[in-house]
Amino acid sequence: MTVLSKPDVRPANPHFSSGPCSKRPGWSVEALKDAALGRSHRAKLGKSKLERAIALTREVLEVPADYRIGIVPASDTGAVEMALWSLLGARGVDMLAWESFGAGWVTDVVKQLRLEDVRVLEAPYGQLPDLDQVDFDRDVVFTWNGTTSGVRVPNGDFIPADRAGLTICDATSAAFAQRLDFQKLDVVTFSWQKVLGGEGAHGMLILSPRAVQRLESYKPAWPLPKIFRLTSGGKLIEGIFRGETINTPSMLCVEDYLDGLEWAKSVGGLDGLIARADANAAVLAEWVANNTAVDFLAEVPETRSNTSVCLRFVDPAVAGLDHAGQQAFVKSFTAALEVEKVAYDIASYRDAPPGLRIWSGATVEADDLHRLTPWLDWAFASQKAALKAAA
């Protein structure tokens, strides 16, 4: 086959990683000049910034007024683990898994918490489990957007309003890019490093009144480390949800999150963020529709993510390779783009099928994705030619 010439134009911003994700357009370290560095997070200045981060999260994400919002340690993982260890065990639980992080929560519940009444509803990469089989008389744990598969739930319609159990939702690559149905969600978690392009290590934990009631009426059979404790004397520790964090946060990261939230407001709030992510995903969808080398990993269009776009190679020259061969092709493909400073960190997640994962969240510019796609064609043509030559 003929190797394509290198395109003339490169993306202005080659950062398409799915986490940590690209900073907002126009970001510079100067945006953090007012960070409360060298100050206690418990001092008036530090606490006011943490309180504002919570208030702006509520405003931009449109969180109901009676839901609590807390800043917690250890990114989204920490927030999910706090919920699992603090809330589960009061009744049976349905665990939904269709990609690596959901599978990780299954492992924690089955092998670490060792709950006895657990049902696991699984689906392979590219598909959702049968949502009609979920029993909402039980607690339910699921990811809204499968970051490593590019498969999301299309909406919250599968969750009944009169459910008896709690719904615990890992929304880390959905929050700020997809509309979360909070009335159907009792626990929502995410991190700063995804759609708003913030820094890692800090998580967000959002609790419904029903989740608070569970916390105050149920005591797990296992001991909870300090970093997981949300109650004291049978009552919610309200300070956690007023900016009194469990452990010391990075005030530099807090300032960066505040900057991202202010930028989110400037582009139209939640509607504006969703529109940007949708427009970005549409660029990639148009490219895929006109390309015979790749296809979406997500099989049903309505379940395709607008942030973590996962693709698989369907060209017979690559699809016909064994797993190791496909991995090697992806490694060469992405390395060629990195050498050209065109795209960084777009290989599929290590546990996912070999392919590409291109972040199209709100901080990415559609123009950069338009500039990226000819380079994807170039990389495929050149690597396929190298594959043929080595045969």
Question: Token match 């880390």: residue?
Answer: 172
Of 273, 255, 256, whose CA–CA distance to 264 is shortest? 273
In angstroms, rounded to a whole number, what is the distance separating the alpha carbons of residues 282 and 186? 31
Question: Cα angle at 228 between 103 and 181, to 5 degrees?
Answer: 60
Contact call for residues 307 and 174 (beta carbons, < 8 A): yes
Question: Token match 């498969």: residue?
Answer: 151
Q: What tens digit of pLDDT does each residue of 228-271 get?
A: 999 999 999 999 999 999 999 999 999 999 999 999 999 999 99
Looking at the chain, which runs of residues are DSSP E strands? 68-73, 93-97, 118-122, 139-143, 145-146, 151-152, 167-170, 187-191, 202-207, 231-232, 235-236, 294-296, 308-313, 355-359
Cα 370 off chain centre by: 23
Query: Is the alpha carbon torsion for 355, 360, 365, 370 positive or negative?
Result: positive
- What would the two tokens of residue 350 be? 């290590």
In angstroms, rounded to a whole number, what is the distance separating the alpha carbons of residues 32 and 21? 18
Could you say which DSSP state residue 63 is in? -
- What would the two tokens of residue 128 be? 């959702």
Confidence of residue 84 (pLDDT cuts 50, 70, 90): very high
Peptide bond into 20 cis (omega under 30): yes
For the chain, give every domain's residue range.
29-264, 269-390
SS3 335: helix
Confidence of residue 391 (pLDDT cuts 50, 70, 90): confident
What does pLDDT average to over the chain? 97
> Would the pLDDT of 342 be above 90?
yes
Query: For residue 352, which phi and psi values (nearest 5 degrees)?
Result: -90, 165
> Would the pLDDT of 273 be above 90?
yes
For residues 116-130, average pLDDT = 98
Query: For residue 210, which phi and psi values (nearest 5 degrees)?
Result: -65, -40
Spell out the residues 6+ positions from residue 311 whose beta carbon is closer than 8 angstroms to its own.
150, 284, 288, 294, 295, 296, 297, 355, 356, 357, 358
Which amino acid is located at 136 in the chain?
F
Does domain 269-390 fall under CATH 3.30.70.3000? My reply is no
* Phi-psi category of residue 143: left, alpha or beta, with phi > 0 → left and psi -120 to 50 → alpha: beta
Question: Token match 């099928």: residue?
Answer: 353
In angstroms, rounded to a whole number, what is the distance separating the alpha carbons of residues 111 and 108? 6
Confidence of residue 1 (pLDDT cuts 50, 70, 90): very low
Correct CATH for 29-264 of 2.40.10.480, 3.40.640.10, 3.40.190.10, 2.40.160.40? 3.40.640.10
SS3 344: strand
Q: What tens digit of pLDDT does each residue of 138-158 get?
A: 999 999 999 999 999 999 999
Q: What tens digit of pLDDT does each residue of 305-336 get?
A: 999 999 999 999 999 999 999 999 999 999 99
Percent of the chain past pLDDT 90, that is, above it, reads 99
Q: Considering only CA atoms, give the Rg of the chain.
A: 22
Neighbours of 324 (CB within 10 A): 9
pTM for the predicted model, two decimal places: 0.97
The per-residue pLDDT for 2 is 58
Q: What tens digit of pLDDT does each residue of 16-62 get?
A: 999 999 999 999 999 999 999 999 999 999 999 999 999 999 999 99
